Structure 1
Amino acid sequence: MDHFSSRIADIASIYGTDTIFILGKGPSVDAISPDAFAGSLVIAVNDAERIAPADITLFHAAWVKEALIANGLRSRMYVTSTDFAPAGREVLRAPFMPLRNDQSDLLMQRFLSGSFVIEEVLFISALNLARQVAKARGRPQTVYMVGFDFLPESGASEAIEHDYAPGSSADRFFRISMQEFFFLNALYMLKESDLDVIHVGERSFSQITPESLNQRFYVSCTPKPSGRSPGVEITAELTTNHFGDRNRLERMIRAARAAGADYVKVQKRDVESFYTAEQLASAYVSPFGKTFGDYRRQLELDRDDFAFMDSLCREVGIRWFASVLDRPSFEFMLQFDPKIVKLPSTISEHRDYLGYVARNYRESVVLSTGMTGADYEEWLLGNFVNCKKLYLLQCNSAYPTPTADCNIAVVRHYHALAQKNPRIVSGYSSHDFGWLASALAIAAGGRMIEKHVKLGNTNWAHFDAVAVDLTKPDFREFVSKLREAEEMVGCGTKKVNASEHHKYLRVAA
């Protein structure tokens, strides 16, 4: 496998699904929730990444460079014939093959040959990339073509507030209209191939509508209200599995929201003071350098990242909070006026800092109780008397947690405390595999469940083994099981239900 094919395969390997989206800019894409793309490989053409974050953006025209830079880079990798070289992004070069009037047959011949060039009809090259992914994965792929309406008079997606493409309306009409011919030709050529190409839209050749696509991926184009009340609150614990990459962070937030989570949670620590100089200088293998310090510094979100996350969560309808591991990070977080913060098990011995938060913070506090005993509980109850709510999450800090150490009965104990003190909320922070312990925690009275999540497999990342993969249906199934458990537990008031009836009625004498 050459370097080009190898890097395309590496990008695709993040995802556990056999689904690929090819993203164009037609207005039909506005009816599709960006959350639908979150767990799958996305290949964008030209500046379509302005609509939703992509993994690979494919282009050849010089105007695209201006559009991408002006609107912020949203792809992991760029495949182009130009000199585009943005800092912090990988670029693969490929030759551009202009389309001549008498050479349309040669375009399709190149497509079938498997050799890669950047065609003037960009979605043909995008389909070629999809074929390379199918070959690397060794199995067929389902490819959804979204935003390819082939109707020049319809304009572009609402997300494209300014179109940087030059040319007259007549040029645009010719350029877009002729692409429909190549698309239908490609569909014919790909019959019985390793790609199942599905056009999403309202055209005669469309297989599904945008609304059907949303339903297929269990998402809505209308943002949900933030949070659910009352009910069990489910937190998708991102930890630092976003790797400090805003593109990856957005994909994780959208996937968590699509799965039905109420919160996403990240971490914040002051790397320079939290770790010793020896720890930071120690050897650690990651894509970000050769030391543990290189790794940890890359993972931290800065102020702009948090502002981005806050705005995105408001947009899609999911709440967020952070595990705040030290005083500098706590004071940093106050600028966002957080209504909830977490103090994790990791810092249960940092009593000076914990006491500082207890004295100075009046909103809700979440505390996991891994690696602690009854004395820690007593200390928490005696010190966190001013916060609005005190979430106590039973936790075992082994990754993964052995079945015998889950100790869900502690959740029942916290629930009993909550009956005496309404400020207390009981819950469970799951470091075990699967959903059963979390469902049992709900039955024991847990009102917040936290689960680690990731975006694909990364063998050098912390907690990766226990995290649920957002690129697969696993987290959606986890949330679904917990909602089912919540429904089964019910309200606790004994009553006659409409579903039941007396089989043997008492007959009056």
Structure 2
Amino acid sequence: MVFVTAEIGINHNGSVDIAKKLIEMAKNAKCDAVKFQKRTVEKVYSKEVLDAPRESPWGTTTREQKMGLEFGKDEYDQIDDYCKKIGIDWFVSCWDIDSQLFIRKYNCKYNKVASPMLTNIELLKIIAEEKKHTFIGTGMSTIDEIRDAVKIFQDASCPFELMHSNSTYPTKLEETNIKCIETLRNEFKCDVGYSGHESVSYLVCVCAAVLGATSIERHITLDRSMYGSDQAASLEFAGLDRMVRNVKEIETILGDGVKRVWDSEVPIKKKLRGI
């Protein structure tokens, strides 16, 4: 069965109340897990970037915007409690070592390597040493870069699966190129999922499931018109609900490939063929 993750990321806009509503939305749509993002802002971004002007609900600089979107211990404690209360797994893509070490205290079942972090060798080693099932994003990466990352997880005997992705938000349909799911599976002999960043459509995710994607990750939002760079590439509840239902029907629809006469066909066969 395809594992479906609802990517909340930073679409909570710094609000635990919004985060809880998104978690509940994912649970109601029968997603398997929700995912957040964690950054130590001063380590991930340079001073020049953080000092740059940027209008946001939190101020006029990029630093204020990034800090306004970042959750700390109090918020993650509440997220952990709420996910346990309603019965859904949660995990995080960490963008630096400090964030990864911070998240360890919650003992999440899964890890995620965000596509931008694929070449951060030291971070990958810290993640791999946990030996938790890890989803590895491959957006904006070459086969050689992916190979280097895969070796780290293989050497650490850490279970993983790759996730085909395009890191443009939103992704153009002609650039989704989901045949890469087969390419990655053949090249690395591992499970391969799909992390989608298209706009309102979820068709690509369904097609990915048909191609054998073992996991699907999709950004979610309460309202695509909300503030935030990821909102436009996210699904609201109606779209998420349909996507999960369709994706999880794929295995049933594909069947086992064995040609047979079904019991339901027998009376039809007798009626129309007389045998």
Q: With structure 2 as the length reference, what TM-score do the two structures score?
A: 0.90
Find the counterpart in structure 1 of residue 137 from structure 2: 368
Retained in 1: the 8 A contact 2:224–2:235?
no
State the distance in 1 between where 2:157 and 2:18 align: 33
1:450 lines up with 2:220 in the alignment: no
CA distance 1:327–1:495, change in 2 (3 Å): farther
Shift of 1:506: 9.6
Retained in 2: the 8 A contact 1:237–1:451?
yes
| SS at structure 1 position matched to 2:265 | coil
147, 150, 157: which is aligned to 1:381?
A: 150
Find the counterpart in structure 2 of residue 354 from structure 1: 124
Aligned pairs, number: 270
Deviations 1:84-117 (A, max 9, x none): xxxxxxxxxxxxxxxxxxxxxxxxxxxxxxxxxx
Retained in 2: the 8 A contact 1:244–1:298?
yes
Find the counterpart in structure 1 of residue 233 from structure 2: 466
Shift of 1:243: 1.5
State the distance in 2 between where 1:302 and 1:494 align: 55
Find the counterpart in structure 2 of residue 427 from structure 1: 193
Shift of 1:487: 2.5
Deviations 1:253-303 (A, max 9, x none): 001111111111000010111111111111111111111111111111111
Retained in 2: the 8 A contact 1:427–1:449?
yes
State the distance in 2 between where 1:478 and 1:489 align: 17
Retained in 2: the 8 A contact 1:397–1:431?
yes
Shift of 1:321: 0.8
Equivalence map 1:10-409=2 (5 Å): 231-358=1-128, 360-385=129-154, 386-409=156-179
| SS at structure 1 position matched to 2:231 | coil
Larger radius of gyration: 1
CA distance 1:293–1:387, change in 2 (3 Å): farther
State the distance in 1 between where 2:146 and 2:116 align: 15
State the distance in 2 between where 1:267 and 1:491 align: 38
Deviations 1:142-183 (A, max 9, x none): xxxxxxxxxxxxxxxxxxxxxxxxxxxxxxxxxxxxxxxxxx
Shift of 1:384: 0.8
State the distance in 1 between where 2:206 and 2:225 align: 27
CA distance 1:301–1:493, change in 2 (3 Å): farther
Shift of 1:482: 1.7
State the distance in 1 between where 2:87 and 2:165 align: 28
CA distance 1:486–1:335, change in 2 (3 Å): same
Query: Which ranges in structure 2 are unaligned for 5 or more consecutive residues?
Result: none
Query: Which ranges in structure 1 are unaligned for 5 or more consecutive residues?
Result: 1-230
2:10 maps to amino acid: T
CA distance 1:408–1:283, change in 2 (3 Å): same
CA distance 1:450–1:498, change in 2 (3 Å): farther
Shift of 1:459: 5.2
2:254 maps to amino acid: V
Two-structure CA RMSD over aligned residues (Å) = 2.2
1:490 lines up with 2:259 in the alignment: no
Q: With structure 1 as the length reference, what TM-score do the two structures score?
A: 0.50
State the distance in 2 between where 1:483 and 1:425 align: 17
2:221 maps to amino acid: K
State the distance in 1 between where 2:137 and 2:183 align: 14
Shift of 1:365: 0.9
